Chains A and B, each alone.
Chain A
Amino acid sequence: MAEATEPEQTPRELTMSRAMVEAIATEMRDDEEVFVMGEDVADYGGIFDSTEGLLEEFGHDRVMDVPISETSFVGAGVGAAQAGMRPIVELMFADFFGVCMDQIYNQMAKNTYMSGGAVNVPMVLMTAVGGGYNDAAQHSQTLYGTFAHLPGMKMVVPSTARDAKGLMHAAVRDDDPVVYMFHKRLMGIGWMPAPDGPKRAVPEEPYTVPFGEADVKREGSDVTVVTLGLHVHRALDAAASLVDDGIDAEVIDLRTLVPLDAETVLESVRKTGHLVVVDEDYRSFGVTGEIVASVAESDLDALEAVERVALPDVPIPYARPLEDEVLPDADDIEAAVETVVE
């Protein structure tokens, strides 16, 4: 992967979806081998605006609507990538992975290794994640842990428009398969209001955000809050209100799960001694356990107290009071922070 080439900020603000599309369009202009396929990516522009406007510039041959046959088109992405092209394949919701998991887990992720490196799969699998809008158990998951668990796929989760653009450039140029998970709530879609955070000044020119570099979104000395995606904004809200209690929280946005920047987390915990990991995915066998384990393994003595804030191990319910009960929010993060610093 190329070195980071982040230029100075310019004042133009973009939503996360516009930033993603800008990166995809640039890559498509620069490289004939880049194309997009998925359900409703052409005329509709992606259900979550992830391909909005691409059809007009590139036409139906390079922005392809495909049948509701995920095994076939995700697998076709693998094959086209192995043939040297750079497909960007959209799986409309990460929750639909079930109908095409073999192509993801057994083909896309493993072909490089099984071929002893003779084959590579330079594709991007982009997919919408997340709940909080009452879409229930089959349309609200993040599945971060499920995807990050299997070796062979890189995995990125932007939380701002600026990162969304840089991570997309990096993902398309990467020679390995990259799972690009965008949180629906962050996209800035008209019908699903986003928090204020993700819409950012985004440089006009192309740049990459390197994989494996977490971003310290807020510096603090009392506690380290590690998170990703939508919950970066929830954690920043919690940190802002914790100031009133005299607690100074550091907030780390992982940005990429594979590779994972364990070093930045460890350094922060060495400074604060207190760790809270926040994840919108299920609690068990996931991101929270992984982060805690990696810190504990490297420097058990640095850890004074730990809390995990995650979805309890239940499918995501529909009704508002039920969903609110299980999805972590800023109050849950504050409570966890208060517990560890006590």
Chain B
Amino acid sequence: MPHSTELEEMYGDMVTARHYEERLQEEYLEGKQPKFDISAGPIPGELHLAAGHEPAAVGVCQHLDDDDTVTAPHRPHHVAIAKGVDLKRMTAEIFGREAGLSGGKGGHMHLFDPDVNFACSGIIAEGCPPAVGAAMAADKRNTDAVAVSYLGEGALEQGGFLESLNLASVRDLPVVFVVEDNDWAISMPKERVTDVADGSRRADGFDMPGERVDHNDPVAVYEAAERAVGRARAGNGPSLIEVQVHRRMGHFMGDAQGYRPDEEIERLDRLDPIPRTEERLRAEGITDDRIETLRELATDRVEEAIEWAKEQPKPAPGAAHDDVFVDSPAGPAAAETGGDD
């Protein structure tokens, strides 16, 4: 059970993440009125928001330090926030600004913050192998760092995931695989793509501990992650945790969700993890005033990041040609034209 400061921290990250997604949704859609055009507005391209996924992020990352590695999939913001990614620079990246984490090259699906060892990838399950590699590095160097790989339940049918489980298991590597089960992979319900409703059972096939957290509760996630991260840090190998989360929004912004029953969205409203976590805080003796303060701090932090990001200059077009290599090849052609720009 997390102590009350930890509970407050987790709640703070949850409300930060929720407010962040709601504000990004506004910014994203505002630029796409009256007619939705994916490439218009201050945030163009695809945008996958994670409202309803917060417990999986905060309950696990509460056990992590900057030296621990996290890889996230296409729906990364809540995990990035819980991992301590620089919120201002992340926001600037999403708005495509020069001060962004990648100078505007990556965008929302490709956030990299090496200061806290965070990375993500838009290709399903392809964050798993690099997490295994980070764990391999920790293992070889005898540090006590661990790696956590986040993925959706839809990614469980992907080779990159299953192969990573096996490699992590046979080498006893310090990895925790965290599956966020929101029941949907875009329009495909879980039961259409697998007969194994409980994804944590995948661990059985690789002889590693697997645990499912059935309700979208940060404390239950915290406890499961305490065991899994503890095992990894102690050199006892990988684990798998699956968390039932909720996709409160469309798969991406602009998804009309015609395939999804309305009752489900109403049901998820009643199960919203944020008010339920507030109940927990109250039960721990945290006052309503304190909860209000935590909410305000979160809102201010998000507003400040968005405001800052929008003030940043856009990248100079020529920057598009930099960074293909850290060490640009200097062949005769490059010398002739004066390098790679």
Residues of the A chain whose Cβ atoms lie less than 8 Å from the Cβ of B123: 95-96, 98-99, 138
Q: Whole-angstrom distance between the alpha carbons of A135 and B126 in the complex?
A: 17
User: Which of A72, A133, A325 is within 8 Å of B39, CB to CB?
Assistant: A133
Complex: how many Å from CA A191 to CA B315? 26
**Stretch of B17-25, B186-194, B303-311 with 4 or more beta carbons under 8 angstroms from chain A:** B186-194
CB atoms of A321 and B315 under 8 A apart: yes
Contacting pair B193 A66 (CB below 8 A): yes
Provide the residues of chain B in CB contact with A58, threshold 8 Å.
Answer: none
Cβ-defined contact, B45 with A133, below 8 A: yes
Contacts A67-B193, A138-B122, A322-B320 given: A40-B105 contact, CB under 8 Å?
no
B36-A191 in contact (CB<8A):
yes
Residue A314 at the chain B interface, CB threshold 8 Å: yes
How many Å from the CB of B25 to the closest CB on chain A? Answer: 15
CB A189 to nearest CB in B, in angstroms, measures: 9
Binding site for B on A (CB under 8 A): 39-40, 42-44, 47, 65-69, 71-72, 95-96, 98-99, 132-139, 190-193, 312-315, 317-326
Nearest CB of B to A328, in Å: 13
A312 contact from B44, B157, B186, B321, Cβ within 8 A: B321
B314–A68 CB distance below 8 A:
no
**Are A191 and B186 touching (Cβ within 8 A)?**
no
Residues of the B chain whose Cβ atoms lie less than 8 Å from the Cβ of A96: 123-124
B interface, by DSSP: helix, strand, loop or mixed?
loop
CA distance A44 to B18 in the complex (A): 27
Contact of B126 among A99, A193, A320 (CB under 8 A): A99
Asked whether any CB of chain A lies closer than 8 Å to the CB of B244, the reply is no
Tell me whether A324 and B186 are in contact in the complex, defined as CB-CB below 8 angstroms, given that A67-B157, A99-B158, A319-B96 are known contacts: no
One of B106-114, B133-141, B175-183, B207-215 at the interface = B106-114
**A193 in complex: contacting residue of B37, B110, B155, B158, CB < 8 Å:** B37
- With a cutoff of 8 Å between Cβ atoms, the chain A residues found around residue B124 in the complex are 68, 96, 99
Q: What residues of chain B lie closer than 8 Å to A132, measured between beta carbons?
A: 39
* Cα distance, A192 to B126, chains bound together (Å): 27
Residues of A within 8 A of B259 (CB): 43-44
If A65-B192, A65-B193, A322-B105 touch, does A136 touch B122 (CB 8 Å cutoff)? yes
Q: Which residue of A lies closest to B95 (CB)?
A: A319
Q: Shortest beta-carbon distance, B149 to chain A, in Å?
A: 16
Contact residue among B96, B125, B317 (Cβ-Cβ distance under 8 Å from A325): B317
Distance A65 CA – B154 CA, assembled complex (angstroms): 12
* Chain A to chain B contacts (Cβ below 8 Å), 6 pairs: A96-B123, A135-B45, A192-B38, A313-B324, A319-B96, A319-B97
Partner of A320, one of B35, B96, B105, B125: B96
